Amino acid sequence: MNKQVKKPDAAAKNELRRTIVSCLGIAYPKYRGEKLPSVSEQFLQGKKTKPPAKGNRRAPAGVSKSDHRKVEHGIRQIVATAMADADSVVEHIDQLAKHLSRLGCTTKANVEHYFRVANRTLVSLYFAARQPQPSPDELKRLALRYALDARRHVEGDLRRFKMRRLKDAWEVVEHSSLAVWALPFRLPGRVLRDFYTVSVLDCVFARKPQIFDLMGLIEEQLGGVPSEADGLGRNGSPEAERHGPRITVDLTNDIVWLDEKAFSVTTAQAYFVDAVAAAHGNWMTVKELASEEHGLFIGPRPDRVCKALPPPIRNLIEAKGGCGFRLTWRG
C-alpha cells in the first residue's frame, strides 16, 4: 500500500513562505531582502490584494473637473498596475513554496542551498546558450534540471520526457522508459506554473530556441552578466569546484554541506570547518583558531573537534603539528 504524503498545514506553508522571502537575496542578487515583520499574513496566505474604495473627492480649487478626472484616472491606473505586480509576486512565492515543499526543502538551510544551486544551473545554461552552435540536448537538460530539481542532473534519453504547453504553464511527464512513452493514453505529470520557470522552458523548448531572450532572462535574474566560474562543475555536481568538492557551512543551524549532502554537526565543529574553509587551503594555526572570532565556539582543543567530524568532511582536512589545519582534497 502506498504511503500517503502528509500535506503541510497552513502554519507550515506560511513559515515556508516566510523562509523563501528571507532568502530572496540569494535567489535574486539585486533584491535587497524583505524584513519579516513587514510581510503581512494576507501576503503569506496568497490572497489577492483589493483595490481601494473609490472616493467622491471634489476637484481642488482652481482645477477643472476635466483635468481632475484625468489625474484620478492616471492614479487608478498606477494603483491597478502596482496591485497586479503585487499579485504576481504573491503567485511567484506561492509556486516556489509548492515546488520546494515537493522536493523536501523546507528549512532555511535547504532553501538557501537550493537557490544557490538553481542559480549555478542558470549560469551553466547561460554559457551553454552562448556557444557559437548551442547544443539543443544540453540546453534541454539544463532547463529541465532547473525546472524539476536543480540539485539533480538530468540523465538518459530525453525522449522519456513528454512536454505540453498549457495556457499559463508547462506540463512535464517523465516516463520510466520509452515503452511507457508510447502508451496511447496520457499519464499525469507535473504542472509548472511559476512564470520564470515557464519563461525559461518557453525559450528552450521553442521550435527554434530563443537564445537572446533566454540570456536576457538569466541576466535579469542574476543581476547582470554572470561569471562562468559560478556555474556547475564539469560532472554536473551543483557545488563542484575545479580542485574538489565545495564546503558550505550554515552556522545558524550547525549544518555542513559537502556537495549535495548535508551533515549535522556540533556548533564547535561548524565554526571549526567554517574557519578552515575560509582559509582557502592555507594553514590555520591553533592560535588563529583560538582567536576571538572563533575560539569562543571551537574551544582550546581544535584537534579533538576535527577528529569528531563526520568522516567525509574530516578526510578533506589535513592536520599537521606546528602548522595547524588546512582544507585539502584527496582523490
- Highest-pLDDT range among 19-28, 136-145, 167-176, 277-286: 136-145
Q: Give the mean pLDDT of 75-91.
A: 65
Same domain, 184 and 251: no
Cell 509548472 appears where?
192
Could you tell me where the DSSP H helices lie in the chain?
A: 10-22, 24-27, 41-44, 65-103, 108-129, 136-148, 178-181, 195-204, 211-222, 267-278, 286-289, 295-298, 302-307, 311-314
Please tell me whether residues 140 and 219 are part of one structural domain.
yes
For residues 120 and 170, state if they share a domain.
yes
312 shares its domain with 256: yes
Tell me the three state secondary structure of residue 313: helix
In degrees and rounded to multiples of 5, residue 174 shows phi and psi of -105, 115
- The answer as to whether 93 is a domain residue is no
Domain final residue, candidates 204, 230, 256: 230
Band the pLDDT of 1: cuts 50, 70, 90: very low
d(CA 145, CA 151): 8
Banded model confidence at residue 239, pLDDT cuts 50, 70, 90: very low
pLDDT at 240: 38
In a domain, 64, yes or no: no
pLDDT of residue 36 exceeding 70, the answer is no
DSSP helix/strand/coil, 143: helix
Matching residue, cell 582559509: 279
User: Do both 139 and 202 map to the same domain?
Assistant: yes
Does residue 212 form part of some domain? yes
| pLDDT for position 215 | 94
pLDDT band at 199 (very low <50, low <70, confident <90, very high): very high
> What is the residue whose three cell numbers read 564546503?
247
Amino acid identity, residue 308?
Answer: A
Burial of 97: CB neighbours in 10 Å, binned 0-12, 13-18, 19+? buried
Q: Which amino acid is at 74?
A: G
Instruction: Kindly tell me the burial class for residue 331, based on how many C-beta atoms sit within 10 Å of its own C-beta (0-12, 13-18, 19 or more).
Output: exposed
Strand, helix or coil for residue 161: strand
* DSSP one-letter string for 38-100: GS-HHHHTTPPPPPPPPP-PPPPTT--HHHHHHHHHHHHHHHHHHHHHHHHHHHHHHHHHHHH
Alpha carbons 210 and 257: distance in angstroms, whole number? 35
Residue 238: pLDDT over 70:
no
How high is the pLDDT of residue 331? Answer: 36
Q: Which domain holds residue 161?
A: 113-230
Q: What is the pLDDT of residue 292?
A: 46
Answer whether residue 239 is part of any domain: no
Number of structural domains found in the chain: 2
Distance CA 54, CA 72 (A): 10
Same domain flag for 212 and 250: no
Split at pLDDT 50, 70, 90, the class of 121 is very high
Do 167 and 271 belong to one domain? Answer: no
- Answer whether residue 80 is part of any domain: no
> Which ranges in 229-301 belong to alpha helices (H)?
267-278, 286-289, 295-298
pLDDT over threshold 90, residue 187: no
Q: What pLDDT band is residue 51 in, cutting at 50, 70 and 90?
A: low
pLDDT of residue 33: 44
What lies within 8 Å, CB to CB, of 265 at 6+ separation is 254, 255, 256, 273, 309, 310, 313
| Max avg pLDDT among 127-131, 192-196, 263-267 | 127-131
66 CB-contact burial (10 Å; exposed 0-12 / middle 13-18 / buried 19+): exposed
Closest CA to 119 of 38, 219, 3, 191: 219
Q: Are residues 161 and 214 in the same domain?
A: yes
Answer yes or no: is 68 within a domain. no
Contact 317, 306 (CB under 8 A): yes
5 falls in which pLDDT band (50, 70, 90)?
Answer: very low
The answer to whether residues 223 and 181 touch, using CB atoms and an 8 Å cutoff, is: no
What's the rounded Cα separation, in Å, for the pair 319 and 284? 10
Q: Which of 261, 274, 278, 282 is nearest to 306 (CA)?
A: 274
Q: For residue 304, is pLDDT > 70? A: yes
Out of 202, 230, 258, a domain closes at 230
